[in-house]
Amino acid sequence: MSDFTPPPRLADEAVSDLLDAGIVAFSIPAEEAWRKEAFSYLRTIADAAQFVLSADLGDEAEPAAVFRP
Burial class of residue 15, CB neighbours in 10 A (0-12, 13-18, 19+): buried
| Cα three-residue angle 16-18-20, rounded to 5 degrees | 70
The single-letter DSSP state of residue 65 is P
The tens place of each residue's pLDDT in the chain, 69 residues long, gives 567 787 888 999 999 999 999 999 999 998 889 999 999 999 999 999 999 888 887 777 677 788 888
